[in-house]
Amino acid sequence: MNNAAQHSLWKSMKLRRKFSTVSVAFTCVLAGLIAFNVLVLRSQSQQSLVTDMAGRQRMLSQKFTKEVLLVSAGTSSDTQATLKLMRDSLAALMEGGEIVTNLDTGAKADLPPAPTVEIRTKLAEQAVALRQYEAAANAYLGLPPGDTKRGERLKELLANQVLLSDSAEAAVKMLGHHADSSIQSMIALQVAVGLICAMAGLVVSSLIGRQIADPLADCAEAARKVAEGDLRIEPLQINSSDEISVLQMAFNDMLASQRDVALQSRTVCDALTSAANAILSSAQEQAAGTKQQAAAVQEITTTVEEISLSGKQVAERSRQVAGTAEAVATSGAAGLQAVRDASVGMEAIREQTETVAENIITLSERTQAVGEIIATVNEIAEQSNLVALNAAIEAADARDQGRRFSVVANEIKNLADQAKEATSQVRGILEQTQKGINTSVM
């Protein structure tokens, strides 16, 4: 459960937080390496100091021999101070503790105990040699100046000094060898830690790279399919809460919007097809009604011409029979009959005109219905423009990854503009038809 919780926490982190976490981790590792190197350098410095103090024993033994010879010659010298410094240095080298490191300034430092049993044994041998050296020095200084044994005691003193120097030299070599071994071990440990950190860095970088590159590759492939017109792809799977997941959610929203736009476009095309068929039918009916109206007008014209001709004939006959009453009566009877015929003809024209007016009213109602359909198409086209604008905004937010989305949005906008332009043309045709109908009715 802890691993699952950590994995879920990692997925819920933003990219900036992830990179910051990795940077802090590597900074801590680097700080650890630096601290480790500081400890190594301090250890090396301390081992170097131990080696120097062990080597200083030879110099002190030579100094002590010189001081003994000066005292034996009658010159005062503080041999006990040198002897005490040698004892204290040897004790500090064996057991650890404070020691004077600079004879001029009196500076002191803490030394660690002897690192190995072999070095401790060698220092113990040096302590025995120091006691023998001290005893030989005391024996030499205890003889009077003219004693014949002073030469033998001097040789014994010098022999013990050589033995002490050899013992100090051996201790220095052992300490140097131990320091070299420690340095090699530290170098090997540093190399191992560096390799481990490098491998860990490679693994972490690979994991982070996969978490970033794989979702982007899936998003790019899906965008390519959408750009090719394939809207049947599955939505992207979202497994985190970082900026890449925001991009994936935006892509899924855009895909859903594209599908809705495609469905609306299909619906609009079907509506346009139906509207075009209805307009064609109305136009055919209007053409038929126009033909009937033209025939009725032709009949009216013929009747009017006949009436005009009959009037002329009546007038001519009236002038001819004006002189006689019988002729007038006969002509009046003929005129009355002609008026009756004209009345019958006008009644027929009225009936045909009413039929034409009903057809024109029906055509006007259908034209208005087509106009409502065209308004609906215009609203759908405007909604398509809004959807295309939203898709363009999403594409702009996605920057380089949204260029293909922008292309799709532009194509949808062009389709909406074409649909709107087509409806405008149809509306113009309907307005002209409506004007013709209104003119016919008036």
pLDDT digit string (tens) for 232-246? Answer: 887 877 777 777 777
C-alpha 203/C-alpha 193 separation (Å) is 15
- What's the pLDDT score for residue 325? 43
Neighbours of 69 (CB within 10 A): 17
pLDDT for residue 221: 82
108 forms beta bridges with: 100
Q: Exposed, middle or buried, 198 (CB in 10 Å: 0-12/13-18/19+)?
A: exposed
Supply the pLDDT for residue 436: 73
Question: Which of residues 395 and 2 earns the better pLDDT score?
Answer: 395
The predicted pLDDT at position 276 comes to 65
Q: Comparing 92-96, 115-119, 425-429, which segment has the lowest mean pLDDT?
A: 425-429
Q: What pLDDT, on a 0 to 100 scale, did the predictor assign at position 435? A: 79
Examine the pLDDT at 250 and tell me if it is beyond 80. Answer: yes
**Does 87 or 366 have the greater pLDDT score?**
87
Mean pLDDT across the stretch 209-226?
77
* Average pLDDT value for the chain: 77
Indicate whether 91 pLDDT > 60.
yes
- What per-residue confidence (pLDDT) applies to 277? 79
Cα separation, 172 vs 47, in Å, equals 11
pLDDT, position 422? 81
Task: From 256, 205, 268, select the one nearest 231 (Cα to Cα).
Answer: 256
Q: What is the pLDDT of residue 328?
A: 41
pLDDT value at 434 more than 60: yes
Radius of gyration, alpha carbons of the chain:
61
Rounded mean pLDDT, 62-74 = 85
Q: Where are the domains of the chain?
A: 2-223, 243-441
DSSP letters, 165-212, are: HHHHHHHHHHHHHHHHHHHHHHHHHHHHHHHHHHHHHHHHHHHHHHHH
- CATH number assigned to the domain covering 243-441: 1.10.287
336, pLDDT greater than 70: no
Q: How confident is the model at residue 331 (pLDDT cuts 50, 70, 90)?
A: low
| Confidence at 321, pLDDT banded by 50, 70, 90 | very low
- Residue range 337-349: mean pLDDT, rounded: 70
pLDDT for res 421? 83
- Statement: residue 222 has pLDDT above 50: yes
> Quick one: pLDDT at residue 314?
43
What is the pLDDT, as a whole number, of residue 246? Answer: 77
Which stretch of 66-75, 129-138, 308-317 has the lowest confidence by average pLDDT? Answer: 308-317
207 pLDDT above the threshold of 50? yes
In the prediction, which pLDDT does 128 show? 92
Is the pLDDT higher at 84 or at 277?
84
Comparing 131 with 281, the larger pLDDT belongs to: 131
pTM above 0.85, yes or no: no
- pLDDT-derived band of residue 317, with 50, 70 and 90 as boundaries? low
Tokens representing 11 are 């997925």
pLDDT at residue 80 above 70? yes
Query: So what's the pLDDT on residue 121?
Result: 92
Distance CA 109, CA 191 (A): 31
**How confident is the model over 52-64, as pLDDT tens digits?**
888 888 888 888 8
pLDDT score, position 440: 61
Q: CA 243, CA 270: separation in Å to the nearest integer? A: 40
Rounded Cα–Cα distance for residues 161 and 398 (Å)? 87
**Mean pLDDT across 93-111:** 84
Q: Quick one: pLDDT at residue 327?
A: 54
pLDDT at 297: 45
